[in-house]
Amino acid sequence: MDPLRPFNAAPLQSGATMRHQSTMRMTNDRWPLLTALRLAGAALALLLVAALAPAPAAAQVRIKDIASFEGVRDNLLVGYGLVVGLNGSGDNLSNSPFTQQSIIGMLERLGVNIRGENFKPKNVAAVMVTATLPPFSRQGSRIDVTVSAIGDAKSLQGGTLLVTPLMGADGEVYAVSQGPVAIAGFAAEGDAASVTKGTPTNGRIASGAVIEREVPFALADLQQVRIALHNPDFTTASRMAEVINAKLGGPVAQATDPTTVTMAVPQSYGTDVARLITDVEQLRLVPDQVSRVVIDERTGTIVMGDNVRISKVAISQGNLTVRITETPQVSQPEPFSQQGDTAVVPRTDVNVTEGGTGNIAIVGGGASLNDLVQGLNALGVTPRDMIAILQAIKAAGALQAEIEVM
């Protein structure tokens, strides 16, 4: 042990070692500052990206929500059948001769002859069966059906629909339905009272029909696809064609009329028309619409579009109330008088009151829907009075919109 070095004293370090430790201490001291600078820079970068990123366009909708493609459509089916197994709530054969004829025909096909016999079953009901055949449905798949009584049956609860062919508009059978009927309501009655909930004469059979015939449509053979708008409009059709052309990179789509956009199938898709429709129906655009005010006078409902504009006009609203009160009085002769009769003398009180604020509200030129509603609400008008005001504004030529009365 070195006698000149105290016990437990650290050995002397070289200059290089001391410089290394000094550098380490400086690095450790600067680390929190460098970390803060890096985090601040990352946060600033995120803010710049968020600020420069395009904001999502408002009121944009998908093409599949405002239009339909040629050939992709439903088909309606209908059929006539019998529901059996009812608990005495079926048709009265005296009032429903078609039910009796149907029962006779059905039993004859099964080898039972009851013509000329006096039979009055109460557990059979004649029904109409309706269904919707989805597009591109295949044989063997199932669809739901709706069963509705057409006679005087009181309830279809507990009944079973017999085999019923479902035909299309062309008279061909596309599905066959059979199964137990499920209803959402019920009916019960006694000698002096009855109760009914829902509609017990209408029911549904989930997956109650089997598709027997397919609707032929060769989607892959199409050279062009036509898109039909649900609400025809020239501007919306033009915007749709522009969006499709921008997506497919060429003038493949064209608005032929306010309802139809014709799109040629690009060569890059070949016969894969389904993939083309998938890519196109996801495109988004802002649909346009005609300024329209829809009025339902029966319920006092008013629906106005956002593009409705009002030219400068003055509006005054007041209510005229006429109240008529009848207070008849009885006129009697004097006591112990020899002449005179008791008579009822009519007395009518008519009171006329004109309500409303009596003020005139001025709506500025080019007023929006919000301005119009606020101005009419300031007058304290009711929905029915608002209907009359809107019709008067339209008659004055100041309402720049169509009025449609339901």
Give the separation between CA 117 and CA 95, rounded to whole angstroms. 18
Helix (H) or strand (E) run with residue 23 in it: helix 15-52
Which has the closest alpha carbon to 248: 273, 228, 276?
Answer: 276
How confident is the prediction along the chain (406 residues), in pLDDT tens digits per residue?
444 343 333 444 444 444 444 444 444 445 454 444 454 444 444 433 333 444 444 468 999 999 999 888 899 999 999 999 998 889 998 888 899 899 989 998 888 888 877 788 889 999 999 999 999 999 999 999 999 999 999 999 999 999 999 999 999 999 999 999 999 876 676 766 777 777 899 999 999 999 999 988 888 888 999 999 999 999 999 999 999 999 998 899 999 999 999 999 998 998 899 999 999 999 999 998 888 888 887 787 888 777 777 777 776 666 545 565 667 777 777 777 777 777 777 776 666 555 555 555 555 556 666 677 776 677 667 777 778 878 887 888 877 788 888 7
Q: Using an 8 Å Cβ cutoff, are 293 and 302 in contact?
A: yes
Say what the pTM is: 0.64
Residue identified by tokens 């970068």 is 45
Note the pLDDT of residue 341.
75
What's the CATH number of domain 220-285, 3.30.70, 3.80.10, 3.40.50, 1.20.1280? 3.30.70
Q: Using an 8 Å Cβ cutoff, are 98 and 126 in contact?
A: yes
**Domain locations along the chain:** 75-211, 220-285, 292-330+345-405
Residue identified by tokens 């014709």 is 262
